[in-house]
Amino acid sequence: MSAPLEGTTVIDLSRALAGPHAGMMLGDMGARVIKVESPGSGDDTRGWGPPFVGPEDDPISTYFLSCNRNKESVTLDLKSDDGRDTLTRLVRHGDVLIENFRPGVLDRLGFSVERLHELNPRLVILSISGFGHDGPQGGRAGYDQIAQGEAGLMSLTGPSPDQPTRVGVPIGDLLAGMYGAYGVVAALHERNRTGRGRVVRTSLLAAIVGVHAFQGTRYTVAGEVGKAQGNHHPSITPYGLFECKDGMLQIACGSEGLWVKLATEFGIDPAGEGMATNRERVANREAVNAAVNAAFADRTLAELLTTLDEIGVPAGEVRTLDRVYEWDQTRSQGLVLDIDHPVLGSIEIPGPPIRFDDNAYAGGRSQHLAPPMLGQHNDSVRAWLDEQDGSEDGADDGGQG
């Protein structure tokens, strides 16, 4: 079977994380992604670390490896005539262009939206910014942690309202990349009807607000401002992190039936004062959680996980990342890829989170490409452009010549 986006060419002008993550998602689905980087330094993330791996005189950033699989790298100085000319050729033969420059930068380089669509009316353009492309603060630079704070996520995360906490990964960047890739696929589908591409816009601000979920309507409809309250759900009790004899575990009583099963098994009256309904339990959260902690105190993590599984109450431990990647369930889902890197040799990297049909490979490809070295594909991409230009010339003159 061919990959879903096979035959689609993506020109990725982005750097850091949001745009590169979107490009990687499209590459995972089979698109050819040509990553355009600055000569000499390349993508900013090539210098982000430690950790670095590989030769001491030319170390490789593991950060860069995380967001650039299934891409080819070419180096272009977009302020030079050759760089602009080569980008022009890429645009003419591309299907998608990704950029996350600050608003106005691409225009100043001579590649406004109007110019891009003049070169290629079918081009889908994904443009990612920090806080939006217009509005009173549309020109602000976007960095993930700043966006997490400005978009309210840090106020909902952490042990208490007095200790706002960033999420442990650059979630604003990652979400913007995901929403961007989602918009690109929709625009490509629309192009099948209209024959024309369009601009897809998103931002770190939009992406984070887009996942406020119940915390958003909690404010917009009910007028309540959500606040950080640690490792327990604000609207469901008991649902969160609890202590046991030799560690911690999480449980999720998302229905009254699950609460009754949990309480009955551990000697708690499910219909006791302040415990009969979820609404009562949320109001009485401290007492309910204390009762659960007391019931778990003399049992080991392994014992509790076995018992909770037997009675059908969702539960789990808190794994460190080494244990996640060693876990047979993680590997069974294709979430660890073995790839051949041109410098590092055989390495493992995290894999894409989507599988099609019963394919053992994650993503749409049967084989994944290692994140490229800087400029690794300069010659092959230019040769491809020459072939494309030659075939167009042949078509223009009826194939003669």
Instruction: Name the token pair of 365.
Output: 């490809």
What DSSP designation does 130 have? Answer: S
| Burial environment of residue 50 by CB neighbours within 10 A (0 to 12, 13 to 18, 19 or more) | exposed
Concerning whether 397 is annotated as a catalytic residue, the answer is no
DSSP string, 200-211: EEEEHHHHHHTT
Identity at 66, one-letter amino acid code:
S
Task: Centre a 10 Å sphere on the Cβ of residue 130 and count the other Cβ atoms it contains.
Answer: 25
Residue with tokens 């950060």: 63
Task: Centre a 10 Å sphere on the Cβ of residue 231 and count the other Cβ atoms it contains.
Answer: 13
Q: Which of 173, 269, 338, 358 is catalytic?
A: 173
Please name the residues in contact with 48: beta carbons below 8 A apart, sequence gap of 6 or more: 61, 63, 64
Residue with tokens 């593991």: 62
What DSSP designation does 240 have? Answer: E
3-state DSSP: the chain helix, strand, coil percent, rounded to 5? 40, 15, 45
Rounded to whole angstroms, how far apart are CA atoms 131 and 205?
Answer: 5
CA-wise closest residue to 208 among 176, 162, 245, 183: 176
What DSSP designation does 355 have? Answer: B
Handedness of CA 63, 333, 313, 212 (dihedral sign): positive
DSSP string, 244-288: ETTEEEEEE--SHHHHHHHHHHTT--TTSTTTSSHHHHHHTHHHH
Strands (E), 130-238: 199-203
CB 76 within 8 A of CB 52: no
Vertex 117 angle, CA 13 and 376, to 5°:
25
> What are the catalytic residues?
173
